[in-house]
Amino acid sequence: MDGSKQIPGMCITVLLLSVKCKEVSSREKCQESKSLRPTISVKKMDRVLCPGEHGEENGSVMEHKTIPWQIFPVLSDQQSQGVELVLAYAVPILDKKKTSRLVKEISAVYPLEGQQHLKRVRACTDKASPHPLEMLICLAKPGKEKAEGLHTLSELLPDKQVDCCGLGEPFLVHVPAHPPLTRMQFEEAKFHWPTAFHEDKYVTSALTGHLFSKEEKVKMQTYMKQAIWAAQQGAEKGMKAIGAVVVDPATEAVLAVGHDCRSSSNPLLHATMVCIDLVAQGQGRGTYNFKSHPACSVSSLGNRDPSASKAIRAGTVRKFESRDNGLPYICTGYELYITSEPCVMCAMALVHSRIQRVFYGTASPDGALGTKYKIHTRQDLNHRFEVFRGILEDQCCSLIKDS
Amino acid sequence: MRLLRAGKQRPSRIRSPVCPPSGSSPGNSSCGPLTFRCPLSSAWLPACACSAALVSRASSCGSGMEETTTAAVAARGVSVSAEEREAWMEKAMHMAKEALENGEVPVGCLMVYNNEVLAKGRNEVNQTKNATRHAEMVAIDQVLEWCHHCGRTPTEVFEHTVLYVTVEPCIMCAAALRLMKIPLVVYGCQNERFGGCGSVLDIASADLPNTGTPFKCIPGYRAEEAVEMLKTFYKQENPNAPKSKVRKKEGHKC
Ligand SMILES: [Zn+2]
Ligand SMILES: [Zn+2]
C-alpha cells in the first residue's frame, strides 16, 4: 500500500496511540542510555548569545531599517518552466450567430479531455480578419500533419455529427499543453490561446515577494544571523563555514543551532544532519555527541508546552501529528534556516524528517533544493516542503568564499 | 500484534569495534523491541519501500540479475567474486529475517572490507528519534568507529569497502555512500519509494562532482525474497487494513 495515499484521519489515531506506548518505553530507554551510551549528551542551551539576536529580536528596533535582501521561492520545474506548446486545429467561425450550436456539437465530438484549461473560442487577434471568432477543434497528432498535410474540415468532422455550415477551413495553432500554474505562465500561455487560470494566490505572493511581512522578514533575518554566527564559530575551528538553525514557527522558538562538523572522523556531519540530530536530542534521544562543538546546541525552549504557544496554526499537519507531550514528530512543522543550500543527502534527510520549510542563504554547486535537484517538490516522494532562497544571501555567500 | 507487544526493552546496543561476520547480531535478542512506525511517515521507516510497489518490481530486478550473478565484479579496484557476493548477501538476508522475526523492519546491511565485516547496520530511527538513522548510515558510523579504534584512515578503508544490503539504498543513503567513496553496493530489491540507485533518482551514478564519487550497483540479489519479507512486515503493519485500528488499540494496552 502506498503510504502517501492514506487518509489523514487514520494516521492521527495511529500516531496518538503509538505515542502513548512510546512514552512508556522512552523513560526506560533514557535510563539505559545514560548507563550504556555515554556518548549521548543533551546540552540545554541557555540561549547561546548570537550577535544576530542583540536588540533585534524586537522587530521595532529594525523597523526603520530596510531589508537588504530578497527572498525567492524555489518552485518545482512545472511551476518555473516556460509554457510548453502543442499544435491544435482551429477553425474560423464565419457566422457568429452559429457559435453556441457549433461549440456544443464540436465539444461532443472532441471534448478536449485533459485540456480543460483551453478556452474553446477566441476573438480574432487580427482586427483586419474577415471573421470575428475562431474555435478550437482538437489537438493535432504530432508529426502527422507534416507528413500527410493538413486535415480538411470534413476529415476532422466526418460523420455529420456537426453541421459545418458557418465554419471556414481549419488551420494549425500553437496552444499551451498544460494549465498555467503561475501568473507568469498564464501571461505567456494566453498570448498563444485564451487559457483559464486558477491562480494560486500563495504562489503568486511568494513570487512577487509579498508572502512575508516586514516583521516576518526581520525575524527571518534574525534566524539566519544565528545560522551565520554558528557557521563562523565552526569555521574558527576549521570546519566548513555552514551554519543552520531549526525553528518552531508556532512558538518562534529556536530549537537547535548547529554548524557543519564534517571531518575525516565523520564526513557526513553536515550542518543539516547536525541540526536533525540536535532536534532528536531535544526530544531526549539523538545519536551524536557534540560536546566538542559548543556552538552546536539544543534549546530547552523546544520542550515548552505547545498550549502556551501563541500561534498554533490551524490546519497544519503538526497539530495532528503532535505527540501527547506536545512535541512534534521529529521535524514536522519546523523550519530550517541554513546558510548554504543542502546537498542530496541533507535534502533527503529533511524529507525523512518531515521539515516544513527550508530557507537557505546561497545556492551550492551540488545543491539538491534548486540547483541540481528539487527534491522538495518531487511528487514521487511522500513528503514535500517549501524552500526559499536569498535571506542574507551576500553574507552567506561570503562565508563560503572566505573559508 | 507481535509488533506492538510491550516486551522488556532490549539492552541498548553497544557497538563492538569489529562485528563478527557470522553469529547472532547484537540486536538479536529474543524479546521484541517496542517499535512504532507511523505507516504514513517515511521518517519511521528505513530505506525499504512499501510492499505493493516493491512487489511489482521484484520480478524485473530478478531477471536483470542474471548477467551479473555469474561473474566477478570489479569497481574502482575492488573485486568481488560471485561466490563472495552470494555469501555476504546470504548473511544480509539472514539479518533481515532476524529483524522481521523481532518485529523490526526487515533490512539487512553489511559493510565488508578485505573479507571482514566491519559493520552490521540496522534501522535505528525509532530509538534515536532521528529519521536519518537508516541501516546504511548506522553502518557507516560503525565503520568510522572501527577506523578510529584501529587507527585506520577512513577514506582508505571506505574506498575498499563493499556494502551488502537487502533493499536498494534511499536517496539520502546513496548520497552518503558517495560521500564516503564506497565503490560497490550489492543489493536485493528495489526501493520504489525512496530509492537512490535508480528507482526514484540515480544518485549512484549522477554527475555530482562535489558529492563524493559515483558507485557501482549490483541489484537484484534474491529480490523476491527481500520483497516478500517487506510484504510480510507491512501486512502486519498495514494501516489501511480494516483491523489496523483494533490492532493499534490492543497494542496500546501494553
Ligand atoms: Zn549535506
Ligand atoms: Zn536510507
pLDDT in tens, B198-209: 999 999 999 999
Which CATH code is given to the segment(s) A85-177?
3.30.70
Choose the mutation target among A11, A19, A24, A25 for the interface with B, i.e. most B CBs under 10 Å.
A25
pLDDT in tens, B134-146: 999 999 999 999 9
3 state SS of A189 = helix
The predicted model gives A278-290 an average pLDDT of 92
3 state SS of B52 = helix
The predicted model gives A299-322 an average pLDDT of 43
Q: What is the pLDDT of residue A95?
A: 86
**Domains of chain B, each with CATH number or no CATH:** 82-233 (3.40.140.10)
Rounded Cα–Cα distance for residues A335 and A341 (Å): 14
What is the pLDDT of chain A when averaged over all its residues? 80
Whether residues A280 and B130 touch (CB distance < 8 A) is answered with: yes
Whether residues B128 and A22 touch (CB distance < 8 A) is answered with: no
Top-confidence residue, B37 or A396: A396
Of A337-351, A373-387, B169-183, B230-244, the poorest mean pLDDT is in B230-244
Rounded Cα–Cα distance for residues A41 and A58 (Å): 32
Rounded Cα–Cα distance for residues A230 and A48 (Å): 10
Q: What is the pLDDT of residue B87?
A: 94
3 state SS of A247 = strand
Q: What is the pLDDT of residue A166?
A: 82
- pLDDT band, very low/low/confident/very high, at A186 (cuts 50, 70, 90): very high
Q: What is the pLDDT of residue A179?
A: 94
Q: Count Cβ neighbours within 10 Å for each residue of A138-171 and write b for 16 or more, e otherwise.
A: bbbeeeeeeeeeebebeebbeeeebebebbbebe
B12 pLDDT more than 90 = no
Window 59-118 of B: residues touching A by CB (8 A cutoff) are none
The predicted model gives A288-302 an average pLDDT of 84
- Ligand closest in space to the Cα of A366: 1
Q: Which residues of A touch B39 (CB under 8 A)?
A: 3, 6, 11, 14
Whether residues B211 and A28 touch (CB distance < 8 A) is answered with: no
Distance from CA of B145 to the nearest CA of A (A): 8
Whether residues B172 and A345 touch (CB distance < 8 A) is answered with: yes
Whether residues B38 and A380 touch (CB distance < 8 A) is answered with: no
Distance from CA of B70 to the nearest CA of A (A): 33
With a pLDDT cut of 70, the percent of chain A lying above it is: 75
A308 pLDDT more than 70 = no
* Distance of CA B168 from the midpoint of ligand 2 (Å): 9
Compute the count of residue pairs across chains A and B with CB atoms less than 8 Å apart: 195
Residue A358: name the closest of A282, A246, A262 by CA. A246
Choose the mutation target among B54, B126, B172 for the interface with A, i.e. most A CBs under 10 Å.
B172
Whether residues A265 and B251 touch (CB distance < 8 A) is answered with: no
Q: What is the pLDDT of residue B48?
A: 35
- pLDDT band, very low/low/confident/very high, at A65 (cuts 50, 70, 90): low
Question: Who contacts A67 (Cβ-Cβ below 8 Å, separation ≥6)?
Answer: A214, A217, A218, A221
Rounded Cα–Cα distance for residues A134 and A137 (Å): 10
The predicted model gives B90-99 an average pLDDT of 93
B55 touches chain A (CB under 8 A): no
For residue A10, count other CB atoms closer than 10 A to its CB.
16
B115 pLDDT more than 60 = yes
Top-confidence residue, B34 or A270: A270
Q: What is the pLDDT of residue A265?
A: 87
Contact of A390 with A361, CB cutoff 8 Å: yes
B52 touches chain A (CB under 8 A): yes
What is the CATH class of A214-302+325-402?
A: alpha beta
Distance from CA of B115 to the nearest CA of A (A): 23
Rounded Cα–Cα distance for residues A261 and A271 (Å): 7
- Ligand closest in space to the Cα of B123: 2
pLDDT in tens, A206-242: 999 899 999 999 999 999 999 999 999 999 999 999 9
- pLDDT band, very low/low/confident/very high, at A304 (cuts 50, 70, 90): very low
- pLDDT band, very low/low/confident/very high, at B247 (cuts 50, 70, 90): very low
Highest mean pLDDT among A94-98, A180-184, B43-47, B177-181: B177-181
- pLDDT band, very low/low/confident/very high, at A37 (cuts 50, 70, 90): very low
Q: What is the pLDDT of residue B70?
A: 66
- pLDDT band, very low/low/confident/very high, at A144 (cuts 50, 70, 90): low
Nearest-CA residue of chain B relative to A283? B129
Measured CA to CA in angstroms, residue B155 lies from A263, B74, B101, B135 at distances of 11, 18, 35, 20
What is the pLDDT of chain B when averaged over all its residues? 74
- Partners of residue B96 on adjacent β-strands: none
Contact of A212 with A71, CB cutoff 8 Å: yes
B36 touches chain A (CB under 8 A): yes
Domain boundaries along the sequence of chain A: 85-177, 214-302+325-402
The predicted model gives A60-73 an average pLDDT of 74
* Distance of CA B120 from the midpoint of ligand 1 (Å): 24
Q: Can you read off the three cell numbers belonging to residue B153?
A: 584512515
Q: Count Cβ neighbours within 10 Å for each residue of A316-354 and write b for 16 or more, e otherwise.
A: bbbbebbbeeebbbbbbbbbbbbbbbbbbbbbbbbbbbb
- pLDDT band, very low/low/confident/very high, at B116 (cuts 50, 70, 90): very high
Rounded Cα–Cα distance for residues B158 and B143 (Å): 8
Q: Can you read off the three cell numbers belonging to residue B168?
A: 536498494
Contact of B226 with B96, CB cutoff 8 Å: yes
- Ligand closest in space to the Cα of B125: 2
B192 pLDDT more than 70 = yes
A255 pLDDT more than 50 = yes
Window 147-166 of B: residues touching A by CB (8 A cutoff) are 147-148, 153-155
Choose the mutation target among B38, B127, B130, B233 for the interface with A, i.e. most A CBs under 10 Å.
B130
Rounded Cα–Cα distance for residues B230 and B100 (Å): 8
Q: What is the pLDDT of residue A119?
A: 95
Contact of A201 with A118, CB cutoff 8 Å: no
Contact of B187 with B201, CB cutoff 8 Å: no
Q: What is the pLDDT of residue A86?
A: 93
Q: Count Cβ neighbours within 10 Å for each residue of A94-104 and write b for 16 or more, e otherwise.
A: eeeebbeebee
Q: What is the pLDDT of residue B75?
A: 84
A59 pLDDT more than 60 = no
Rounded Cα–Cα distance for residues B225 and B93 (Å): 8
Catalytic-role residue among B84, B86, B116, B136: B136
Distance from CA of A165 to the nearest CA of B (A): 53
Q: Would residue B136 show up in a list of annotated catalytic residues for this protein?
A: yes
Q: Can you read off the three cell numbers belonging to residue B125?
A: 530511527
Q: What is the pLDDT of residue A148?
A: 67
- pLDDT band, very low/low/confident/very high, at B49 (cuts 50, 70, 90): very low
Q: Can you read off the three cell numbers belonging to residue B201?
A: 533518482
Rounded Cα–Cα distance for residues B252 and B254 (Å): 5
- Ligand closest in space to the Cα of B133: 2
Q: What is the pLDDT of residue A315?
A: 34
Nearest-CA residue of chain A relative to B195? A381
Question: Who contacts A202 (Cβ-Cβ below 8 Å, separation ≥6)?
Answer: A211
Of A218-222, B58-62, B122-126, the poorest mean pLDDT is in B58-62
The predicted model gives A139-150 an average pLDDT of 74
For residue A40, count other CB atoms closer than 10 A to its CB.
19
B195 pLDDT more than 90 = yes
Distance from CA of A373 to the nearest CA of B (A): 10
Q: What is the pLDDT of residue A299?
A: 81
Rounded Cα–Cα distance for residues A265 and B148 (Å): 7
Rounded Cα–Cα distance for residues A192 and A117 (Å): 13
Nearest-CA residue of chain B relative to A39? B14
Window 194-223 of B: residues touching A by CB (8 A cutoff) are 194, 196, 200-201, 203, 206, 208-211
Rounded Cα–Cα distance for residues B156 and B31 (Å): 39
For residue A67, count other CB atoms closer than 10 A to its CB.
15
Full-model pTM: 0.74
B29 touches chain A (CB under 8 A): no
The predicted model gives B184-198 an average pLDDT of 95
B212: left (phi over 0), alpha (psi -120 to 50) or beta: left
Sign of the dihedral defined by the CA atoms of residues B202, B206, B212, B216, in that order: positive
Partner residue facing B170 (CB), from A15, A348, A364: A348
Q: Running DSSP on this structure, what letter comes out for residue A118?
A: B
For residue B185, the surrounding DSSP H or E stretch is: strand B184-189
B42 touches chain A (CB under 8 A): yes
A45 pLDDT more than 90 = no
* Distance of CA B176 from the midpoint of ligand 1 (Å): 9
CA dihedral B128, B132, B138, B141 (to 10 degrees): -100
Nearest-CA residue of chain B relative to A7? B240
- pLDDT band, very low/low/confident/very high, at B230 (cuts 50, 70, 90): confident
Partner residue facing B130 (CB), from A18, A29, A277: A277
Q: What is the pLDDT of residue A300?
A: 60
Q: Which residues of A touch B171 (CB under 8 A)?
A: 344, 348, 351, 375
* Distance of CA B44 from the midpoint of ligand 1 (Å): 21
Q: What is the pLDDT of residue B237?
A: 64
Q: Can you read off the three cell numbers belonging to residue A75?
A: 518552485
